[in-house]
Amino acid sequence: MTLVHAPGRTVVVAIVLSLTNFVAVFDGLVVAVALPAIQTGFGLRPVDGQWVLTAYAVALGGTLLTGGRCGDAFGRRRMLVAGLAVFVAGLLLAGVAWDAWVLFAARAVQGFGAAFAVPNAFATISALRPEGVRDRVFAAVAVAGGLGAAGGAITGGLITQGLGWRFLFLLTAPVVAAVAITAARVLDEDRRPGAPRPGLLGAALAVTAAALLVYAITNHDLAVAAVGLVLVVPVVRLLPRGVVRDRSLRAAVAGLPGFVFAYDGTVFVGLLFLQQDLTPLQAGLTFTPLGIAVLVGAPLAARLLNRRVWTTVFGGAQAVCAAGLVLLALEHVLPGLVLVGLGAAVSAVTLNAAAGRHAEPADRGSAYGCYETAKYLCGALVVAVLATALECGHAFTFLLAAAVAMLGGLAGCALGRRTT
């Protein structure tokens, strides 16, 4: 279905969809800033506190494809609004959490809500016409995501230090609720007649497998890890065959661990490291150059991709990330953050372009759905690995992230060269 809006209404639609993406990106950084305070409040070790981040990522990554398919089958506006409502419920539960397990459950509820809101927001944009309007809305949403990355650290530090970490969730809830109410009023319903009903088995298996693997990593449990790996096999078999055989998508997924180790390693480990000596607000302000570098790196990536093969751009970006992580290990914070921000932004845009490079038009949505699912599930596993590595110190953990960043760059380039 094609959606044609009057200019004034298009602005409102763009604001609603941009805020949806802004909240999803903003949430990750503000929670990362508040993580030390949350760990102190509940008496958690870093290896246990990482569940505040991974519970969200596991739920989001595991149900992302299901959320998109539900939008096709039952209506994208309906699923977007329902997802935002579930997100609000998770925020409120997190704000009043009386125990760590309640907070972990609340974060999983937020992840499930985001899994229904985010893909249907992007699907709604893709249906906008004319193309100029669609492209402008996509650009606005991308800028909103960048602003969420740039402002999340400062806002998280300010609220955590001034009011307490619970207000990060409680103050965000009315904003998301307002977005949901507005979306229900201004968005047109958009559904695909005859779209296949979503299968819940794949989502359940993906969430269970990822949760078991995170638990196994943080608790050094080989038996649980084996069960998690066994569950991955049927998840892969449930994917469309054309998507699984797509070499360009496989190359992008192979490069994901390098990118995720670089960016998530910097955010997760860096904010914990900085708050050993700084307040949450000071740590958030110190992290601002990362967000600014991300904003600069995104348009830079587009220029580079117009001039160079994507594997060359990705490999160079990962080398920049690795250099930044080495500087962070040596406690050169400002140049390290700038290099990681620039490299990660270029890598993110490049991998997004590569993921659907050779997909058939009918499989393009599934290809990107698989890529985004892999990205979030990889993020959950990476944070678990980093939390375990922190037992050996921050410098070791940054160097580990730098090594994986380079290996991921090499893996993506090696597989990607066969497709270019």
More reliable by pLDDT, 40 or 246: 40
- pLDDT for the residue 420: 54
Lowest mean pLDDT among 131-140, 148-157, 159-168, 334-343: 131-140
SS3 content of the chain, % helix, strand, coil (to 5): 85, 0, 15
CA distance 281 to 270: 14
pTM for the structure as a whole: 0.80
pLDDT at 71 over 70: yes
Residue 325 near residue 408, CB atoms below 8 Å: no
Q: Give the HSE-up count for residue 244: Cα atoms under 13 Å, Cβ half-sphere.
A: 9
Max CA distance (Å), the chain: 58
Percent of the chain having pLDDT more than 70? 79
What DSSP letter does each residue of 139-171 carry, written as one string? HHHHHHHHHHHHHHHHHHHHHHHHT-THHHHHH
Question: Is residue 321 very low, low, confident or very high in pLDDT (cuts 50, 70, 90)?
Answer: very high
Mean pLDDT across the chain, nearest whole number? 79
pLDDT tens track for 384-412: 888 888 888 889 999 999 999 999 888 88
Residue 261 near residue 405, CB atoms below 8 Å: yes
- pLDDT for the residue 88: 93
Question: Is residue 146 very low, low, confident or very high in pLDDT (cuts 50, 70, 90)?
Answer: low
Q: Give the HSE-up count for residue 355: Cα atoms under 13 Å, Cβ half-sphere.
A: 22
What's the CATH code, domain 7-186? Answer: 1.20.1250.20
Lowest mean pLDDT among 113-117, 144-148, 152-156, 280-284: 144-148
Q: Is 165 helix (H, G, I), strand (E, B) or coil?
A: coil
pLDDT at 333 over 70: yes
Look up residue 376 and give its two tokens: 């979030």
Closest to 70 in 3D by CA, of 178, 179, 201, 191: 191
- pLDDT for the residue 134: 60
Residue 67 near residue 81, CB atoms below 8 Å: no
CA distances from 386 to 104, 158, 343, 401 (A): 18, 26, 20, 8
CA distance 413 to 210: 26
- pLDDT for the residue 5: 47
CA distance 290 to 345: 10
Q: Is the preceding omega at residue 130 within 30 degrees of 0, hence cis?
A: yes
- pLDDT for the residue 323: 94
Residue where the block lists tokens 């678990």: 384
Look up residue 12 and give its two tokens: 């409102």
pLDDT at 360 over 70: no
| Sheet strands (E) in 65-185 | 128-129
The mean pLDDT value for 268-277 works out to 82
pLDDT tens track for 72-130: 777 778 888 899 999 999 999 999 999 999 999 999 999 889 888 877 777 776 666 66
Residue 32 near residue 53, CB atoms below 8 Å: yes
Closest to 402 in 3D by CA, of 317, 331, 338, 326: 326
Domains 7-186 and 244-420 belong to one CATH topology: yes
Q: Which fold has domain 244-420?
A: Growth Hormone; Chain: A; (1.20.1250)
The domain ranges of the chain are 7-186, 203-238, 244-420
Question: Is residue 306 very low, low, confident or very high in pLDDT (cuts 50, 70, 90)?
Answer: confident
- pLDDT for the residue 277: 82
- pLDDT for the residue 361: 54
- pLDDT for the residue 325: 94
